[in-house]
Amino acid sequence: MIEVEVHQRLRAFLRDQGEPYWPHHLTMGRFVARALRLERSVLLQTGVPCFGYHGRYRLSYLLPALVWPGSVVVVASEVVQQRLLMVELPQLQEWVQSPKPIRAGDRWPGTDFQGILMTTPEVWLADRLTTGERFPRRIPTILDGVDDLEQWAFNQLTTCLLPGDWNDLVLAFPTCLDVIRDARVQLTKAIFHHPANPYECYLLDETEKDLLHGLYSQLCPPDRKSSSLLPPNWNRFYQQLQSENALPWATIVRSQGQFSLCCGPVEVASALAQIWPQQPVVLIGSALDAESDAPIYRQRVGLEDITCLKFVPDRQTEQIQLYLPDGLPMPNTSLFQSALMREIRILLSVSIAVQGITVLLVGDMPLKAQVGSQLAAEFGSRVQVEKTCLDDNGILVTGWEFWRQHQAVLPSPRLLIIATLPIPSLENPLVAGRVAYFKRLRQDWFRLYLLPAALSELQRAVAPVRDCQGVVALLDNRVIHRSYGAQVLTALSPLARINYVDASLFSQSDCSVVD
């Protein structure tokens, strides 16, 4: 069977090449080979980062794809594709002596193609969620990095009307210039009347939606066939706006007095559920769910009957040291900021003599700016706010999104300081819109949405620290005093709790720069 062949070849390759050790290579390789042979979907949680060049597990699905006699589609980001095409795949092909053709593209090369096609999540989802004509059905598909699957699908299912789209509408309906202009003026006034928030976006209220529906009814009355004249972007937007699953919002640029309208789905599970039966899939992510069978994740992405497997980080090589001080004020109190700064200064005074960068993760946008400015006044140019050019012992102050996007190109931090848990803020209108959806369904919005999102973000954030068994300082006392704190600690495992931080904790191993 292919499982036996993959096991033997992968073990021999790892021994010959001296590849970085990952204890689950052979198990994952057999699972992927079995999925290809049986054409049965599987969901794998690797427990190691899926971003950039970090994916040590990727040999475990590339070798089965090469050995498998049939065709395979590999869906991965462009950065990952470049690494696979330039490094991993040439090495494996030479070892396996496989003549299997490998291509990268946005569509199937042809009916006679029997090889591996690599494409991006955006291209693959855009096809599967619409026409489904670029990639044949029934071809096994490996999706790498599905921690971001919901966001990929949301982006593909969202339509945005930019300021220039209003000009397209005028060109399509030149006789309705005054109607379009009046609607735009009223929308501008209503949208800019919202109080400022750090996210510069606002859910559309009923008045604003009524203005859009009124504009549509004047341009395309029911007794006429003028709806075909609508520009494609406007047509898609109005179709989505009428759905019960619609999440409409506006983003604004106050300095320019401009706004954009967007409409996406509250949930993507119903749309994604339509694409899984079209082909067997191997879904690979790092930290998708606290449970091995991933019930919450599968619900969010529309997966029903699927084999699941979860690997855990190796305690000997990937354990973090967790500093979790008690007695700090809760994040929602007025005393928190001063206590946070005091604790940060103590931690930085310890790490200042240690070679390696320190990362401060601050999710609250105003607080991030205040922390950055105060530390810059004390530590000078060592402190950078969301910049990738750092000194050897630099201090990076960053939000969660910036850290997620750039941690692949930054050195692994010796010390990672987390101000608060990355629980999505209800002050973010898009988060509030999704929470309202769960409330309408009378579902536990914290357990099904906010907490899983926070745990996944947290696991991905600390992953680089595991490379050198560094120190994570978590300064959010909710971990100690809230019932969900045990789930947070489980998500961070393996870990060793420490009661203090000193320089000796940073001398156990090396943190190297990712090339």
- Predicted confidence band of residue 443 (pLDDT cuts 50, 70, 90): very high
Given a contact cutoff of 8 angstroms between Cβ atoms, the answer to whether 175 and 80 are in contact is no
Residue 344 phi/psi, 5-degree rounding, is -60, -45
- For residue 425, the SS3 value is coil
- Predicted confidence band of residue 409 (pLDDT cuts 50, 70, 90): confident
pLDDT of residue 507: 57
Closest by Cα among 406, 312, 328, 428 to 361: 406
What does the block give as tokens for 452?
A: 């899983």
pLDDT of residue 226: 62
pLDDT of residue 514: 36
As a whole-number percent, the residues of the chain with pLDDT over 70 amount to 95
pLDDT of residue 281: 97
- Mean of the pLDDT values across residues 290-301? 94
Closest by Cα among 356, 385, 360, 376 to 475: 360
CA separation for the pair 165, 174 (Å, rounded)? 14
- Mean of the pLDDT values across residues 418-425? 96
**Confidence check: pLDDT of 4 > 50:** yes
CA separation for the pair 264, 160 (Å, rounded)? 9
pLDDT of residue 173: 93
Residue 414 phi/psi, 5-degree rounding, is -70, -35
Closest by Cα among 277, 269, 278, 266 to 297: 269
**Confidence check: pLDDT of 329 > 90:** yes
CA separation for the pair 156, 173 (Å, rounded)? 28
pLDDT of residue 512: 43
Residue type, 448: L
Q: Which alpha helices (DSSP H) does 408-448 contain, by range?
A: 429-440, 445
pLDDT, the chain, mean: 90
When mean pLDDT is compared across 11-25, 140-154, 323-337, 367-381, the lowest value belongs to 11-25
pLDDT of residue 54: 58
Residue 378 phi/psi, 5-degree rounding, is -95, -40
Residue 61 phi/psi, 5-degree rounding, is -110, -20
**What pLDDT digit, counting tens, does each position of 362-381 carry?**
999 889 999 999 999 999 98
**Confidence check: pLDDT of 179 > 60:** yes
- Mean of the pLDDT values across residues 203-231? 86
**Confidence check: pLDDT of 284 > 60:** yes
- Predicted confidence band of residue 52 (pLDDT cuts 50, 70, 90): very low
- Mean of the pLDDT values across residues 478-504? 91
Given a contact cutoff of 8 angstroms between Cβ atoms, the answer to whether 445 and 451 are in contact is no
- Predicted confidence band of residue 315 (pLDDT cuts 50, 70, 90): confident
**What pLDDT digit, counting tens, does each position of 83-122 carry?**
899 988 998 998 888 889 999 999 999 888 999 999 999 9
Choice between 9 and 509, residue whose per-residue pLDDT is larger: 9
